[in-house]
């Protein structure tokens, strides 16, 4: 007895020409080339959706790890309004730093934003961080006090982290932003810990952005000469914000 075979007939596809259609219990089969193309498109769409979801998860993770304070979350380079030539120059330097970040990383080129209160230093620093996060680079924001405290907390009995673990967490990001330099007491212990952080980043060619209200001459008193030397090496730059308060102008 001959094996059962579904009926077939030759049909024509407007796109791919003739093909052999098979009558199945649910109807006649369509053009196999069209089916293959449709499957490929659906598979590509599925892969694209999965990749977008993966990128969103990574972006969310980077943003969480960045630790940007809620007060500063809306700061962008795009919404920084320079009210004088110095502020425009600082904005250009910040944008250039982002645009050239691969070169910045290759050299470990740091930045120091120094100047008066309310001149826009934190806005531009966070704007740099936000731009780098959008490029899937990890930029972490921390006050100096918080950075030092995170290391000192490991000295407590029962801490899950060692001192070296805490320092490694601050060395790891592509960019570390240290805010409020000069607010801390400037003890020898704190200078030593700051040196460990910045020197570790220096050795791994990872740039650091320091924000301070102190004048250039006073920075070394708080950071230590060795730290300032590390920040200025490899093309490191100090940007002086020597204009009136940006906040007062903005209001």
> Which pLDDT does position 234 carry in this prediction?
85
Report DSSP state, residue 4. Answer: P
Domains of the chain plus CATH, in order, are 1-66 (no CATH), 71-250 (3.40.50.300)
Query: Alpha carbon of 29 to those of 22, 34, 40, 61: distances in Å?
Result: 5, 11, 18, 47
> Which pLDDT does position 193 carry in this prediction?
87
Give the side-chain half-sphere CA count within 13 A for 38: 7
- Segment 72-115, tens digit of pLDDT: 888 999 999 998 999 999 999 999 999 999 999 999 999 999 98
Does the pLDDT at position 119 exceed 90?
A: no
Q: Could you please report the per-residue DSSP string of 130-183?
A: HHHHHTT--EEEEEHHHHHHHHHGGGSTT-SS-HHHHHHHHHSSSEEEEEEETT
- Segment 41-60, tens digit of pLDDT: 999 988 888 777 776 666 56
Handedness of CA 95, 101, 103, 104 (dihedral sign): positive
CB atoms within 10 A of CB 7: 9
> Which pLDDT does position 55 carry in this prediction?
63
CA distance 220 to 214: 10
Assign 123 a pLDDT band (cuts: 50, 70, 90).
Answer: very high
> Which pLDDT does position 204 carry in this prediction?
93
Assign 64 a pLDDT band (cuts: 50, 70, 90).
Answer: low
Q: Tell me the two tokens of residue 210.
A: 């320091």
Whole-number average pLDDT of the chain? 86
If one compares 124 and 117, the residue with the highest pLDDT of the two is: 124
CA 41 to chain centre: 33
CA distance 207 to 174: 7
Average pLDDT over every residue of 121-140? 93
CA distance 141 to 67: 6
- Segment 145-169, tens digit of pLDDT: 888 888 888 888 888 888 888 899 8
Assign 125 a pLDDT band (cuts: 50, 70, 90).
Answer: very high
Largest CA distance in the chain: 102
CB atoms within 10 A of CB 204: 11
> Which pLDDT does position 61 carry in this prediction?
60
> Which pLDDT does position 251 carry in this prediction?
47
Residue 26 backbone phi and psi in degrees, to 5: -105, 5
Residue 85 backbone phi and psi in degrees, to 5: -65, -40
């Amino acid at each position: 007895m001959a094996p059962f075979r579904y009926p077939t007939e030759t049909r024509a596809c407007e796109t791919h020409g003739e093909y052999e259609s098979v009558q199945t219990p649910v109807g006649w089969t369509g053009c196999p080339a069209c089916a293959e193309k449709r499957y490929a498109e659906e598979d590509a769409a599925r892969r694209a959706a999965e990749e977008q979801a993966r990128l969103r998860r990574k972006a969310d993770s980077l943003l969480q790890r960045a630790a940007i304070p809620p007060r500063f979350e809306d700061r962008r380079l795009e919404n920084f309004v320079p009210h004088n030539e110095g502020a425009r120059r600082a904005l250009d330097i910040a944008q250039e730093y982002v645009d050239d970040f691969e070169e910045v990383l290759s050299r470990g080129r740091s930045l120091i934003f120094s100047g008066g209160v309310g001149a826009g230093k934190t806005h531009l620093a966070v704007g740099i961080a936000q731009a780098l996060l959008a490029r899937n680079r990890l930029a972490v924001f921390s006050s100096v006090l918080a950075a030092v405290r995170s290391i000192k907390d490991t000295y407590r009995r029962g801490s899950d982290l060692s001192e070296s673990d805490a320092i490694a967490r601050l060395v790891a990001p592509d960019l570390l932003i240290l805010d409020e330099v000069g607010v801390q007491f400037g003890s020898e212990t704190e200078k030593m810990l700051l040196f460990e952080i910045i020197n570790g980043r220096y050795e791994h060619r990872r740039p650091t952005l320091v924000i301070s209200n102190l004048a250039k001459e006073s920075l070394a008193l708080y950071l230590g000469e060795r730290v300032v030397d590390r920040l200025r090496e490899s093309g490191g730059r100090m940007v002086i914000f020597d204009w009136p308060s940006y906040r007062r102008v903005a209001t």
